[in-house]
């Protein structure tokens, strides 16, 4: 097969923020987060590496410089050093002629696991964009191709690079690709394709136009958004800030530890006698062993006293502390990342002895329920969504809604992942308390967040539902 990538159209250069110092036979490269010392370099190797700090040098140019200095035997060593510098995120790779002012596209490594491999584009081979690759714009207005399968991002520096990517939505050979872009220089088009392949955004296809990922069971079972969310909310294949960075400190005030009351308490809930419960409750082992999901509820509904006991044991505020940690926090019965306690509890009551049916908010500070609205087609939809699987309406659906900015004010990259983990913690707490109380609990995997905002009147971006839980009395078993 003909290899058609032109070595004159792929170039390398140190990033703008990398400082290079030459000291005898050693080069020291320093970036804001890395330092690399390469010693015992021949003068020609040093010269080529120093060139990369001044301008973009093509593969052809770098090879010629080493060959002219009679150091062709050092080519492999040179590319080993280059790969090392790329892995340290100190060197960019460019598509286009090296003497052009602006490259067509720039490959930017974003993780130490980036594998620098030369991509030989073959004339008769078809290529296609991965299902996991996407284009996004950053805050400076630059556009990037990214993918959870990649350890780099590709900056689109010219519209031709975006056109090449667009054409790769279907499987095309380099010749077909060039034909769809008649005004463009063929070598330029191929250089963009080369960088897309080097970055794992585009792959060779089979004769039928299929990618390896299309038929690989591991990839087939990943949704695009799940793999992206996973890769960006864990450390590894990106260099985004991650963790408790407090990026909005002094810019935006944190959301309050306790949700400001939007609705007055209409039903103060009974409080259980905790000393008595500590004596009569079944032990942890008994509760853990008895816990099971029960979707079918009893004829006689649970009571408002049971609802009061359940919420007191699961979700009440035990203590409010001001200011200590840059933001106010509370103490509640279940653990929570950063003590943000961003989850609010809403109840859709179909049947509960002592309570009017309707939609309520649980006030965790005052341990009471606030009536928001009576039964209507939206509460009916919420109840029927929750009873899919053929069961009657549940007695109570508890909707867990996150005050998102309470977490994202402090945490970067992981805020939503943290919220979902917190939902899991609450589910487990609810299951155990409901089991200890001999009630019927069942977590749900999905609900309608738009329906929730309609019922609560909240803004989708500010407070949205992230979990649902069924609760009711158990059906009395007849012998
Ligand atoms: C996060 C989560 C989501 C769940 N989603 C649903 C659901 O949507 N519908 C349902 O009937 N059960 C749901 N369940 C209950 C599981 O089906 C149940 O826990 C599982 O079958 C094990 O049974 P067990 O709870 O009785 O031990 C969910 C449980 C969890 C923890």
Tens of pLDDT, residues 142-167? 999 999 999 999 999 999 999 999 99
* Domain residue extents for the chain: 10-232, 243-473
* Ligand 1 atom closest to Cα of residue 295: 11
* The predicted structure's pLDDT at residue 392: 86
**Is 449 within 8 Å of 467 (Cβ atoms)?**
no
Cα–ligand 1 centroid distance for 187 (angstroms)? 56
Please choose, from the candidates 232, 172, 233, the residue with its C-alpha nearest in 3D space to the C-alpha of residue 203: 172
Rounded Cα–Cα distance for residues 241 and 235 (Å): 9
* Ligand 1 atom closest to Cα of residue 389: 11
Measured from the Cβ of residue 209, the count of other Cβ atoms closer than 10 Å reads 13
Q: Whose CA is nearest to atom 21 of ligand 1?
A: 293
Rounded Cα–Cα distance for residues 192 and 156 (Å): 9
Cα–ligand 1 centroid distance for 286 (angstroms)? 20
Q: What is the DSSP letter of 191?
A: H
Rounded Cα–Cα distance for residues 218 and 235 (Å): 21
**348-377 CB burial, b ≥16 within 10 A, e <16:** bbbbbeebeebbbbbbbebbbbbbbeeeee
Question: 100, exposed or middle or buried, with CB in 10 Å at 0-12, 13-18, 19+?
Answer: middle
E strand or H helix at 345:
strand 343-349
Angle in degrees, CA 91, 95, 97, rounded to 5: 110
Residues of the chain short of pLDDT 50, as ranges, are none
Q: Whose CA is nearest to atom 9 of ligand 1?
A: 444
Question: What Cα–Cα distance (Å) separates residue 474 from each residue in 291, 343, 436, 441?
Answer: 13, 27, 12, 9
Residue 217 structure tokens:
């069971």
* Ligand 1 atom closest to Cα of residue 442: 15
CA distance between the termini of the chain = 77
Cα–ligand 1 centroid distance for 315 (angstroms)? 21
Q: What is the DSSP letter of 386?
A: H
**Is 404 within 8 Å of 462 (Cβ atoms)?**
yes
CATH code of the region 10-232: 3.90.930.60
Mutate to test the pocket of ligand 1, among 292, 424, 442 (most ligand atoms within 8 A of CB): 442
The pocket around ligand 1, CB under 6 angstroms, is made up of 292-293, 295, 389, 427, 442-445
* The predicted structure's pLDDT at residue 54: 94
Cα–ligand 1 centroid distance for 292 (angstroms)? 9
Please choose, from the candidates 300, 311, 298, 299, the residue with its C-alpha nearest in 3D space to the C-alpha of residue 267: 311
Largest separation between any pair of C-alpha atoms in the chain? 95
Q: Whose CA is nearest to atom 13 of ligand 1?
A: 444
Rounded Cα–Cα distance for residues 372 and 18 (Å): 58
Q: Do domains 10-232 and 243-473 have the same CATH topology?
A: no
Cα–ligand 1 centroid distance for 236 (angstroms)? 31
Rounded Cα–Cα distance for residues 90 and 462 (Å): 39
- Residue bearing tokens 């509820």: 297
Cα–ligand 1 centroid distance for 443 (angstroms)? 5
21-48 pLDDT tens trace: 999 999 999 999 899 999 999 999 999 9
Rounded Cα–Cα distance for residues 349 and 219 (Å): 42
**What's the chain's Rg over C-alpha atoms?**
30
What sign has the CA pseudo-torsion 126, 132, 134, 138?
A: negative
Give the CATH class of 243-473.
alpha beta
* The predicted structure's pLDDT at residue 323: 72
Cα–ligand 1 centroid distance for 444 (angstroms)? 6
Rounded Cα–Cα distance for residues 303 and 434 (Å): 13
């Amino acid at each position: 097969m003909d290899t058609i990538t032109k070595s004159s159209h792929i170039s390398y250069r140190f990033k703008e923020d990398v400082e290079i110092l030459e000291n005898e036979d050693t080069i020291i490269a320093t970036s804001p987060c890395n330092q690399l010392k390469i010693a015992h370099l021949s003068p020609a190797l040093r010269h080529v590496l120093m060139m990369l700090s001044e301008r973009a040098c093509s593969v052809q140019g770098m090879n010629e410089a080493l060959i002219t200095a009679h150091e062709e035997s050092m080519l492999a060593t040179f590319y080993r050093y280059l790969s090392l510098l790329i892995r340290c995120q100190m060197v960019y790779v460019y598509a286009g002629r090296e003497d052009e002012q602006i490259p067509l596209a720039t490959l930017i490594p974003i993780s130490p696991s980036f594998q620098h491999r030369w991509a030989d584009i073959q004339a008769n081979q078809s290529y296609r964009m991965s299902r996991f690759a996407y284009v996004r714009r950053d805050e400076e207005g630059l556009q990037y191709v990214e993918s959870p399968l990649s350890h780099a991002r590709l900056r689109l520096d010219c519209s031709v690079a975006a056109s090449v990517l667009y054409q790769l939505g279907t499987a095309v050979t380099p010749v077909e690709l060039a034909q769809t872009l008649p005004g463009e220089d063929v070598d330029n088009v191929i250089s963009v394709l080369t960088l897309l392949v080097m970055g794992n955004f585009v792959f060779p296809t089979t004769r039928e136009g299929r990618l390896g990922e299309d038929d690989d069971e591991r990839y087939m079972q990943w949704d695009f958004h799940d793999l992206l969310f996973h890769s960006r909310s864990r450390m590894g294949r990106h260099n985004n800030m991650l963790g408790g960075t407090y990026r909005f400190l002094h810019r935006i005030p944190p959301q309050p530890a306790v949700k400001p009351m939007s609705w007055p308490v209409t039903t103060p809930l009974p409080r259980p006698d905790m000393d008595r419960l500590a004596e009569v409750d079944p032990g942890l082992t008994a509760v853990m062993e008895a816990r099971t999901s029960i979707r079918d509820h009893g004829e006689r509904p649970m009571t408002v006293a049971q609802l009061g006991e359940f919420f007191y044991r699961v979700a009440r505020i035990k203590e409010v502390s001001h200011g200590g940690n840059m933001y106010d926090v509370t103490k509640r019965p279940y653990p929570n990342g950063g003590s943000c306690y961003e989850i609010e509890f809403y109840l859709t009551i179909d049947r509960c002895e002592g309570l009017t049916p309707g939609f309520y908010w649980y006030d965790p500070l005052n341990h009471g329920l606030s009536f928001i609205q009576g039964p209507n087609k939206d509460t009916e939809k919420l109840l029927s969504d929750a009873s899919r699987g053929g069961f009657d309406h549940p007695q109570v659906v508890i909707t867990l809604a996150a005050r998102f900015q309470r977490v994202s004010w402090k945490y970067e990259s992981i805020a939503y992942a943290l919220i979902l983990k917190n939902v899991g913690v609450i589910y487990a707490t609810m299951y155990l308390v409901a089991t200890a109380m001999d009630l019927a609990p069942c977590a749900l995997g999905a609900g309608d967040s738009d329906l929730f905002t309609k019922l609560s009147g909240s803004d989708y971006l500010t407070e949205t539902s992230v979990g649902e839980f069924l609760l009711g009395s158990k059906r009395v078993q007849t012998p």
